[in-house]
A and B are shown apart, each in its own frame.
Chain A
């Protein structure tokens, strides 16, 4: 799933939540979030990523991240979430990791 813009308090976070929950309802539990065009995430957006990650894990699936921008990568590193999420720079490698 390709995301773009800002994942922040309000519509950005709400849309991410709705989308991940929608995928789970459709029994699609191998989720790769492409964040290449996401240049900004605040604490609310981080919380939503974690919430999605946990929800997917709880249903036996996996939520992984692809192509982080520098700001998002730095943010995940200082919050120690870089060690929680599986992060990929190459889409093919990321997709194969689900198999």
Chain B
């Protein structure tokens, strides 16, 4: 980790309340880092979806398992890690929620939203098992982010999953 990187790490219970807690925590970091309102919304939503994924699909809502959330703030970007204690998954196996046959699916849009709302997104195998979502957003350059976030880029999906 670079010496000027700020690091925050919390271990969350596998429960619904952890989703809001993680969102609020990351929103505070994002606001302090200078992101505008729109970008904060996208970051908050992505954190929600990452923790929902860990809660529901990774840990299978098992209360004995934990969700590990970490935030790194470098000079260039805010990086968010969400690690579960499940069996892991392959991104290529995630159905495309925009495919005609999946449009009326009641689930499966979380990964898509994280990809759409963040600049970088990946899922890697956790060191001790589980899946680790790693996503980042470039910090606003001075003068680029107005209070309502108009300086941020528009959300657009990068991939079809």
- Seen from chain A, the residues whose Cβ lies within 8 Å of a Cβ on chain B are 8-10, 42-44, 46-48, 50-51, 53-54, 71, 74-75, 78-81, 84
Contact = CB atoms under 8 A, between A and B. Distances in A.
B103 interface: yes
A50 B16 contact: no
B49 interface: yes
B148 to A, nearest CB: 11
B103 A80 contact: yes
A88 B106 CA distance: 22
Contacts of B98: 79-80
**7 cross-chain pairs, A with B, having the tightest CB-CB distances, nearest first:** A47-B106, A43-B109, A10-B16, A43-B110, A51-B106, A80-B98, A47-B107
* Max chain A Cβ within 10 angstroms of own Cβ: one of B103, B105, B109, B113: B109
11 contacts: A43-B110, A48-B106, A51-B106, A71-B41, A75-B113, A78-B116, A78-B155, A78-B156, A79-B98, A79-B109, A84-B104
Contacts, number: 50
- Interface range on chain B: under 10, 10 to 19, 20 to 34, or 35 or more? 20 to 34
B124 to A, nearest CB: 21
A46 B104 CA distance: 10
A47 B113 CA distance: 13
Nearest to B38: A71
A50 B106 contact: yes
B30 interface: no
Nearest to A57: B104
B67 interface: no
A80 B103 CA distance: 7
Given A10-B19, A47-B106, A78-B113, 9 more contacts: A10-B16, A42-B48, A46-B109, A47-B107, A48-B106, A51-B106, A54-B106, A80-B98, A80-B103
